[in-house]
Structure 1
Amino acid sequence: MRSSSESFWRMIRLAVTVALVSACGASEYEYVSWKSDSYNGGRSYGKPPQCVDIPDDLRLCHNVGYNQMLLPNLLEHETMAEVKQQASSWVPLVHKNCHPGTQVFLCSLFAPVCLDHLIYPCRWLCEAVRDSCTPIMEAFGFPWPEMLTCDKFPQDDVCIAMTQPNTTEVPKPTGYSPICPPCDNEMKTDTILEHMCASEFAFKTKIKEVKRENMDRKVILQKRKKMLKQGNLKKKDLKKLVLYLKNGADCPCQQLDNLGNQYLIMGRKVDKQYLLTGIHKWDKSSKEFKKAIKKLKTHTCPTFENVFK
Structure 2
Amino acid sequence: MAAFFTVVLLAVASPLTAFDIGQSTRCVAIPNQMKVCRDVGYSEMRLPNFLGHSNLEGEVVPRSEDWKPLLQTGCHPQAQAFFCSLIAPVCLDTFIQPCRSLCVAVRDSCAPVLACQGFPWPEALDCDRFPAEDDQCISAHIKISHFAKELSFCREDGPALKTVVDAFCHHDFAVTAKVHHRRLPMGEPEFEVDGRVEFIRQGPLLPYDTQHLLQQWLLINLRCANVLVRPGRSQLFVLTGFVHLDGVLALTHIFPWHKRDANIAVAIRKWKHHRC
Give, in angstroms, the shift of residue 89 of structure 1: 1.8
Structure 1 segments of 4+ aligned residues over 4 angstroms from their partners: 209-213, 249-256
Q: Is the 8 A contact 1:217 1:246 kept in 2?
A: no
CA 265–172 in structure 1, closer or farther in 2 if over 3 Å, else same: farther
CA 255–56 in structure 1, closer or farther in 2 if over 3 Å, else same: closer
The question of 1:75 aligning with 2:56 is answered no
Q: Is the 8 A contact 2:27 2:44 kept in 1?
A: yes
Aligned counterpart in structure 2 of residue 159 of structure 1, from 105, 121, 137:
137
Q: How does 1:1-309 map to 2 (within 5 A)?
A: 40-41=20-21, 48-81=24-57, 82-157=59-134, 158-163=136-141, 173-174=157-158, 186-189=167-170, 217-218=219-220, 244=221, 246-248=223-225, 263-264=243-244, 276=250, 278=252, 288=276
CA 175–85 in structure 1, closer or farther in 2 if over 3 Å, else same: closer
Q: Is the 8 A contact 2:21 2:95 kept in 1?
A: no
CA distance in 2, matches of 1:136, 1:86: 19
CA distance in 1, matches of 2:41, 2:238: 36
Q: Is the 8 A contact 1:99 1:173 kept in 2?
A: no
CA distance in 1, matches of 2:141, 2:63: 26
CA 116–211 in structure 1, closer or farther in 2 if over 3 Å, else same: closer
Q: Is the 8 A contact 2:77 2:159 kept in 1?
A: no
Letter in 2 for 1:159: C
Q: Is the 8 A contact 1:97 1:173 kept in 2?
A: no
Letter in 1 for 2:219: R
Give, in angstroms, the shift of residue 49 of structure 1: 1.5
Find the counterpart in structure 1 of residue 13 from structure 2: none
Deviation per residue, 1:165-197 (Å, 9 max, x gap) = xxxxxx984359xxxxxxx982324x78xxxxx
Q: Secondary structure at the match of 1:52?
A: strand
Q: Secondary structure at the match of 2:225?
A: coil
CA 138–50 in structure 1, closer or farther in 2 if over 3 Å, else same: same
Deviation per residue, 1:103-146 (Å, 9 max, x gap) = 11111100001124311101001000100111122223332111
Q: Is the 8 A contact 1:137 1:143 kept in 2?
A: yes
CA distance in 1, matches of 2:27, 2:90: 9
User: Would you say how many aligned residue pairs link Structure 1 and Structure 2?
Assistant: 177
* Structure with greater helix percent: 2
Letter in 1 for 2:68: V
Q: Is the 8 A contact 2:49 2:87 kept in 1?
A: yes
Q: Which of structures 1 and 2 has the bigger CA Rg? A: 1
Q: Is the 8 A contact 2:75 2:109 kept in 1?
A: yes
Letter in 2 for 1:133: C
Q: Is the 8 A contact 1:94 1:102 kept in 2?
A: yes
Q: Secondary structure at the match of 1:186?
A: helix
CA 253–173 in structure 1, closer or farther in 2 if over 3 Å, else same: closer
The gaps in structure 2 that reach 5 residues or longer are 1-18, 143-154, 173-203, 230-235, 254-273
Q: Secondary structure at the match of 1:217?
A: helix
Q: Is the 8 A contact 2:98 2:138 kept in 1?
A: yes
TM-score with structure 1 length normalisation? 0.46
Letter in 1 for 2:62: Q
CA 118–255 in structure 1, closer or farther in 2 if over 3 Å, else same: closer
CA distance in 1, matches of 2:62, 2:245: 25
Letter in 2 for 1:174: G
Identity within the alignment, %: 36
CA distance in 2, matches of 1:118, 1:175: 28
Q: Secondary structure at the match of 2:114?
A: helix
The gaps in structure 1 that reach 5 residues or longer are 1-38, 165-170, 177-183, 193-203, 219-243, 257-261, 267-274, 280-285, 289-309
Letter in 1 for 2:42: Y
CA distance in 2, matches of 1:110, 1:211: 36
TM-score with structure 2 length normalisation? 0.51
Give, in angstroms, the shift of residue 61 of structure 1: 0.5
